[in-house]
Structure 1
Amino acid sequence: MDKMITILGPTASGKTALAAALADRLGCEIISADSRQVYRRMDIGTGKDLSDYAVDGRQIPYYLIDIAEPGTRYNLFQYQRDFRLAYDAIVSRGRRPILCGGTGLYIEAVLKGYRLAPVPENKELRARLEGKTLAELTAMLMDLKCRNGSTMHNKTDVDTAKRAIRAIEIEIFSGDNPAAESDTPPTDSIIIGIDVEREERRHRITDRLCRRLEGGLVDEIRALLDSGIAADDLIYYGLEYKFVTEYVIGRITYEEMFRLLEIAIHQFSKRQMTWFRGMERRGFTIHWIDAMLPMEEKVAEILKIDRNK
């Protein structure tokens, strides 16, 4: 059986289209590694771009998109479980999986085979942390990470106070319940990284944000709120859902929303690249290819790397 292929890269790098083109060429199926595309009806803000999964009219099978309800807290433990189910199903049919996404923690968890357990809610801890600033919570988290020797969370995961509190909850639980050797198998994979030069990345992010806003992002979030999802639950998801929700409920102006969101996405993209470079330091080999190459050349480069493995 050929190794899985993983395609990773920062936001707006063209990962999905490349994965679909490669899947069409090789007869593969795609497993998404995106922590927000799991949610139904959160389409524009998460950039699902489901049309990318059709190549010349041929539908590429995909997994782990639209599997959770908005307002819920899908987590890494659930992702690792769902990834394994999708991976085994694809392999059982004699097909080859392609893992594609930008959530570095999800990617690393399934490639390394992190041993994870469902972490229960600690109501006493949450009550104690309520009211602390994001900066205070982040400092607490970093201290716990140092003590645990943990690589489980970085700033990508703690851009809101609720996320930071959940990360602290997980680190405390992990420290009190040290894991034995991993009983989740690592997944052998050829890893392809899409390299986008910084200024080009910034241009793509701003252009895509404008298109999403013009394409109905505000209406999508209004509809989610109107369906009964609490504003704080949408804000929890960060980025588009945080800032556009704050605009819709009147906390900030449209101009403030656009400016703050643009900055936040640029910062997020930078943190994604920091995570991927960190993966290299932690022993992963990532084969970087230029995002600016024509699609056929990018596919050809990956095929060449694949043949040499």
Structure 2
Amino acid sequence: MKNLLVITGQTATGKTSLAVSFAKKINGELINSDSRQIYKHLDIVTGKDLDILQTSTVHLYDIVDPKKRFSSYDFTVFAKKAIKTIEDKGETPIIVGGTYFYLKHLIYGIATTQEADWKLRNKLNKKSIKELQVMLRLKNPDKLKQMNQSDRANPHRLIRQIELSQIPTAKKMLQNSLIKKYKVRFIGLRFKRKEDLIKKIRERVEKRMKNGAIEEVRSLFKKGYSEKDPGLQTIGYKQLIALVKGRLTKDEAIKEWISKEVRYAKRQYTFMKKDKNIKWKMVD
């Protein structure tokens, strides 16, 4: 079986650095699985390391316009093409990033069933995104929590998950699972202590503020992007947009940004620890 390396884990744990070191050792190329770093122009707030492109080949990095939605299905399609491209070169694919919803769909397959329930879909199409989110929370709260920001704001993805939640589990099928075709090695990075996590995230947020995070948001508006665009519906941008719009003070925006990142990191581990294939490594 072909080899596939997956490096995932909590935010701010050094996943990319580890992936780069592995790429040098095993002759590999990286595939980004961070839902925020997939977008173009979102550099400072997301902590994108563009210098990495000078020394390493990274697929699915800085490729999607912020006005476009990029779902876990889109990721699966693009990632499989990238894997083939890397293998055609005789190299090893290394998937790196903390968006577990992306990884789960790619590695284990996407839950599907028989024909779509068009009667139900037509009924749900009349509902707002907020109403769809409430429905999915009632039917399958775990699934809603696993969805990234883009999918949560996508009515088609919400409707599909509501539809799947009404089907008995036994009738669902996982299609195109990579776990059956590859020898997948999972490495997960997490912090030993909660205080280390908070300290690291606070330092990263402060550094990004010094590097021009607010100016980046203003620049995005000048380029024609708005706070409603899918790429900007994420942690960091939401808080800084509120700051630029006068809805939050600078201190309030920073405090909320840090708090949201910490909560996100905790959710990451909550879902990832259910995956028994991940071998965890602690970081300080």
Q: TM-score with structure 1 length normalisation? A: 0.78
Q: Is the 8 A contact 1:156 1:268 kept in 2?
A: no
Give 1:236 shift.
Answer: 5.2
Between the aligned residues of both structures, percent identity stands at 27
Q: Is the 8 A contact 1:234 1:241 kept in 2?
A: no
Match of 2:60 in 1: 64
2:213 maps to 1:217 = yes
Query: Aligned residue pairs: how many?
Result: 273
Give me the whole-angstrom Cα distance separating, in 1, the residues matched to 2:151 and 2:20: 36
Q: Is the 8 A contact 2:76 2:102 kept in 1?
A: yes
Give the counterpart of 1:195 among 180, 190, 193: 190
Give 1:142 shift.
Answer: 2.3
Contiguous gaps of at least 5 residues in structure 2: none
Match of 1:104 in 2: 100
Give 1:161 shift.
Answer: 11
Give 1:155 shift.
Answer: 5.7
Aligned pairs for 1:215-254 (under 5 A) are 215-233=211-229, 237-254=233-250
Aligned pairs for 1:101-140 (under 5 A) are 101-115=97-111, 125=124, 128-129=127-128, 132=130, 138-140=133-135
Give me the whole-angstrom Cα distance separating, in 1, the residues matched to 2:53 and 2:223: 28
2:256 maps to 1:265 = no
Give me the whole-angstrom Cα distance separating, in 2, the residues matched to 1:222 and 1:272: 30
Give me the whole-angstrom Cα distance separating, in 2, the residues matched to 1:195 and 1:265: 14
Q: Is the 8 A contact 1:194 1:290 kept in 2?
A: yes
Deviates more, 1:21-30 or 1:176-185: 176-185
CA shift digits 1:239-287 (9 cap, x unpaired) = 111111111112211121111111111101100111111223xxxx211
2:246 maps to 1:255 = no
SS of residue in 1 equivalent to 2:62 = coil
2:143 maps to 1:143 = no
Give me the whole-angstrom Cα distance separating, in 2, the residues matched to 1:129 and 1:61: 41
Aligned partner of 2:282: which letter? D
Give me the whole-angstrom Cα distance separating, in 1, the residues matched to 2:112 and 2:173: 11
Contiguous gaps of at least 5 residues in structure 1: 293-309
Deviates more, 1:183-192 or 1:95-104: 183-192
Q: TM-score with structure 2 length normalisation? A: 0.85
Match of 1:301 in 2: none
Aligned partner of 2:239: which letter? F
Give me the whole-angstrom Cα distance separating, in 1, the residues matched to 2:135 and 2:257: 26
Match of 2:281 in 1: 289
